[in-house]
Amino acid sequence: MKELDGLDKDKELKIEIQALYNDHKGNYGYRRVSLELRNRGFTVNHKKVQRLMKVLGLSTRIRRKRKYSSYKEEIGKKADNLIQRQFEASRPMEKCYTDVTEFAIPNSTQKLYLSPVLDGFNSEIIAYNLSTSPNLEQVKTMLEQAFTEKHYENTSLHSDQGW
């Protein structure tokens, strides 16, 4: 009956929801909109916000996260696992560890790849390389920076072999 009278008791709330949705370019769903409304002094249940967003036709874009995969089939020979999960080292440069980590840049489609070498004795980062693509050149450059001297012949370098 109230709707027939032309009075919309949620008009102010709908305007605020629409403004929040537009301010955040459709990235806020009903949960974040509800929190933001509470921060702005509104007392409103999340279910009501969800219902009003549905009435207004506001749906959040679903951002799918793609996991980085470095699998390159059967290339080369897989090295034996000499470390056997015994990561602590008794002296510097006895055991070193490396991996390539992917970082997504916010508000961009570009990604960066970090390749560090870590000393197992004191967890010190010996060398690192940052690149826009995970490739052999990045890893080679990082290893050349880390192991510049010949006295590292007894050093074990451990990797998940997934660069």
Write the pLDDT tens digit of every residue in 30-85.
999 999 999 999 999 999 999 999 999 998 877 777 776 655 555 555 666 666 56
Mean pLDDT confidence for 109-121: 87
- What is the band of 92 on the pLDDT scale with cuts at 50, 70, 90? confident
β-strand pairing of 156-159 with 95-98: parallel
Total domains in the chain come to: 2
Containing structural domain, residue 131: 95-159
Q: Is residue 88 part of a domain?
A: no
pLDDT band at 91 (very low <50, low <70, confident <90, very high): confident
Mean pLDDT of 90-104: 81
The predicted model scores a pTM of 0.47
**In this structure, is residue 83 part of a structural domain?**
no
